[in-house]
A and B are shown apart, each in its own frame.
Chain A
Amino acid sequence: MRFDSADRGVRALDSVSFAATENEFLSVVGPSGCGKSTLLRILAGILEPTSGAVEFAARGSAERLRTALVFQEHGLLPWCTVLENVALGLELRGVPRADRERAAHAFVAAVGLERFTGAYPHELSVGMRQRVALARAFVSDAEILLLDEPFGALDAQTRAVLQQELMRIWRDHRHTVVHVTHDIEEAILLGDRVLVMSGRPGRILEILAVPLPRPREPRAMDRPEIRDLKWHVWQLLEREVRGSLGLAGSP
């Protein structure tokens, strides 16, 4: 597919084509401004591609699969309580109040925030807010979860803990996940496969399988084959980042 931004006259995505399989965790990594977020917004149905299409093989191309999008931050509605925010996805799909609140309660407990059910987002830390956002995505009956740099606004330690949290929730509640990040380590730690994108306009450079069993430990990042993979992804990206900065090739 392709996406041209109308108001800025910029081609954000060019000839991007890939397939995610059911219950796969697919990580997308690329330099900033490469159209990663645009890609997720197209998958979420917020934007229409200029050309090309999203096909949902499970359903035939006519009908969309239900998606849930998790934003980097500010994805919670400030005027809704934690419980209302978690239940929002179900509410918007017409699930009756009693049912959606029961489901939301269970998931608020699953992310350890039961004491904050009635709190408003401004009363929570950034990390807690992202847990609420993840809970909303998992509790909604979405078939594909779209994560747009969900930990990008967090400090390194909180991020590491929430990565583990995400792995744990995903283990218990399998979904197909498309996860966008600019953090190579995070892409490899979380993903079954890593899709590497070029700078603007975004194209796919390579799709790499991550040879790591689950459950994964952060320590697994020190294995030689994973270090090689990290290095390989970085070499792919470095050229793109240098290009976008107007710098020459490899040093």
Chain B
Amino acid sequence: MNSRALYQLPCTTPGKEMARAWQWQHATEGILALVYVSDIAKWYPTSTTLTLLLLDVNTGKLLQSASWTLPLVVIETLRLISDPLTATWMIGSLEWRSDGLYHIAVRTVAPGLPVTTLFDEQENDMTSLNPLYTMYAHERKCVVVYRKSAPYFHGNSTIYVGSIDLETKKEEHILVGSADSAMVWTDERTALVLALNPRTAGIWGFQLSRYDAAFHTKDWQQELYPRLTETITPVLQGENDFEWLGVNAAISPGPLLDERGEATWVVGATLMDVFRFRGHGHTSTEASQLPRKVDMLIWLNAAGDELQRCSETIGLRVQMCRVQSTIVGVDLLNGRWRLWNWTPQQAASFQSVVWLDASL
């Protein structure tokens, strides 16, 4: 393998935490769009400059660029999508403004790179907006999935889907459900929402829901139950604060079922009892060494029914992908990163495990 620097992005205030997003241009070969915060004026009047670049990845050459300075705005999250029908770029952002409120905004950038605001949802003094889970184009609409906190932070937060018609600008907001925290997985036909909710009627856990890609139809919802180990933490059973748990989750497409080619998914999640870190912060590596945790790695069919449950324990920060009928994953267990693979059609256990360089 060889490596080379293709392009250095102009930026006056670089940092690892900078907001950015990138996306391939539709129907072109190797044209990549990048949007990022290229300048921040920290002293009053503060401002943020957004830059959009079009790069030819084949040559490393800059094809087009535009910058916009937004006064009194701090951008925390960026998303970038394109609408192939109108050749329009859409920049989604979670941003804090001088009104003291968080906003979720979508700005459209037409082929000549003029920018206009398509959508602007602001929090109010009772709820906050965060995070901006995902944004995608679907049937001439821009779909934005985000979370609103409970009023005055009492009760459960809620997941919303905003859908904006690119022609009429008409907005529709759908309340998907409640979630303390969540993740959203989408493809062209399906949206999955994995939601973690505090106990209701004495039960806590994950709910996995399947929708059509526009979130108009909810096909099903299933409760997913993590494995409870013998060393189960009292935090999970008692009346302690649920939110003290460190929770990670990931979803991957699973092996196709038989000759029908039916879609499946694999869901992995880990809940660590980080309660003992009370009083100071902790790293993922530290948390991964805690003995008390619950986890799950399960293979589900298109109806959300469990087909197989992995017998192995999984660690924090699990990520997975499908390679034919094999799930390849990486996680952080006992302070070490490892790579594993699992063929859920054949066995409940991992096929192989490789511990990665201890210096990672």
Is the A/B pair a real complex?
Answer: no
* Chain B contact residues, CB within 8 Å of chain A: none
